[in-house]
Amino acid sequence: MGDDDKAGLPAGPGQRARTRRKGRGGREQLVVPPAEFRSYYGKPIVKAPPWKYDIAAYLFLGGLAGGSSLLAAGADLAGLPNQRRSARIVALGGITGSLYYLVHDLGRPERFHHMLRVLKPTSPMSVGTWILSAYGPFAGLALGEEIVPLLPAKLARRLPTELISRASRPAGLVAALVAPAVASYTAVLLNDTSLPSWSAARRELPFVFVGSAAAASGGAGLLLTPLEETGPARRLAVGGAALELTADQIMQRSMGITAEPLHEGRAGKYHRAAQVLTGAGAVGAVLGRRSRLLSAVSGLAMAAGSACTRWAVFHAGMASAEDPKYVVVPQRERRDARGGGEAYAEQVGDDRAR
């Protein structure tokens, strides 16, 4: 039986189904079903960065600091001293912790200093280093007004306490202006890598991180502030939770197959916990307007949910680098969407006809 006689017959075991059709110029072209990707010799195609838990903590604490500075500035302008104080403390503590984990991951503290030698607008890491360096001093100076009354009398007489107190509000407003960049630039940093799950989320991940930062900082405000001053924190937390959950759903749909790591393994556990904690915390914040206990528990839940979101995204990206299908399958889908699959089959048919 010749090749022409075999055309249209079902494939045997382990063979592809083959048919022939007439192409341009009357030549026959081989039509094969698209190959199903299984493995790339069992080896990863992209190399994951050697990041550990330090980076996940750095992502969360930076967002917490940025959102808290916004909350502190709003509370300052609204005349809510307790809310302002707690938010400023959280902001400085968050950025200090974030910088600590970043420097710890770098291995040597001087490496952070070396990144300040030049500003590269095309490098998210370089821009992020300058953002943190600009934000940190103002977040620290903003806390001066809260620290001055606690100083011993002898020390207070030696310091320009009046100047420090007067500078706190302007410093807090400057920190609030930089805060959105602090809360969101880490998403751009992840998107700029070649890891499939991070790269595929480049449009929605900044919104997820901003919403997560707002939920965490608002939650911290609910936890640490007297009930009568929690209005701004409550609105920030609920709005941030809504943004985070909505953007997360849109992100998963747009990611395609690269969203799978968000639902599997360690990342899946963190992601499910984030959804439950953030959603339950937002509901509790709405219902607990007159309950100090419910407000505090809801705030703690949203802060924990925000941390779980960062850990989920971190582990999902690292896991996506281990399986080559998350690189190859999206590439083939993009090729097919551009008509590349048909062009490839046509080329194969032309080669066989020759």
Q: What is the CATH number of the domain that holds 264?
A: 1.20.1630.10
In a domain, 350, yes or no: no
Report the percentage of the chain scoring pLDDT > 90.
58
Q: Under the phi-then-psi rule, with left for phi > 0, alpha for psi from -120 to 50, and beta for the rest, what region is 265?
A: left
- Residue 347, domain member (yes or no): no
The pLDDT score that the predictor gives to residue 12 is: 42
Is residue 11 a part of any domain in this protein?
A: no
What is the structure's pLDDT at 329? Answer: 82
Question: What distance in Å separates the CA atoms of residue 319 and residue 80, rounded to the nearest whole number?
Answer: 44
CA distances from 29 to 26, 36, 150 (A): 9, 21, 84
Pick from 26-30, 166-170, 181-185, 265-269: least confident: 26-30
Would 250 be classed as within a structural domain?
A: yes
Q: Which tops the pLDDT comparison, 40 or 48?
A: 48
Tell me: the pLDDT tens digits for 60-76? 999 999 999 999 999 99
Q: Is the pLDDT of residue 152 over 60?
A: yes
In a domain, 33, yes or no: no
Position 33 confidence tier, pLDDT thresholds 50, 70, 90: low
- Of residues 20 and 304, the one with the higher pLDDT is 304
Q: Which domain does 225 fall in, by range?
A: 53-323
Whether residue 268 is predicted with pLDDT greater than 80 in this model: the reply is yes
Q: Is the confidence at residue 41, as pLDDT, over 60?
A: yes
Quick one: pLDDT at residue 348? 45
Query: Phi then psi for 31, rounded to 5 degrees?
Result: -115, 120
Reply yes or no on whether the pLDDT at 210 is more than 90.
yes
Q: Within a domain: residue 42?
A: no
What's the domain count of the chain?
A: 1
Average pLDDT estimate for 296-306: 97
pTM over the 0.75 mark: yes
Whether the Cβ atoms of residue 297 and residue 342 lie closer than 8 Å to each other: no
What's the mean per-residue pLDDT of the chain? Answer: 85
HSE at residue 236, side-chain half, CA atoms within 13 A, is 32
Q: What is the pLDDT of residues 311-343, one digit of tens each?
A: 999 999 999 988 888 888 888 888 887 875 555
Banded model confidence at residue 4, pLDDT cuts 50, 70, 90: very low
pLDDT at 2: 45
- The average pLDDT across 234-263 equals 95
More confident: 213 or 103: 213
Task: Tell me the two tokens of residue 254.
Answer: 């747009």
**pLDDT tens digits along 191-202:** 988 899 999 999
Q: How many beta carbons lie within 10 A of that of residue 79, not counting itself?
A: 9
Please indicate, yes or no, if residue 269 is contained in any of the structural domains.
yes
Structural domain contains residue 61: yes
Which residues, in sequence order, are CB contacts of 98 under 8 Å at separation 6+? 57, 58, 61, 62, 65, 132
Position 45 scores a pLDDT of 80
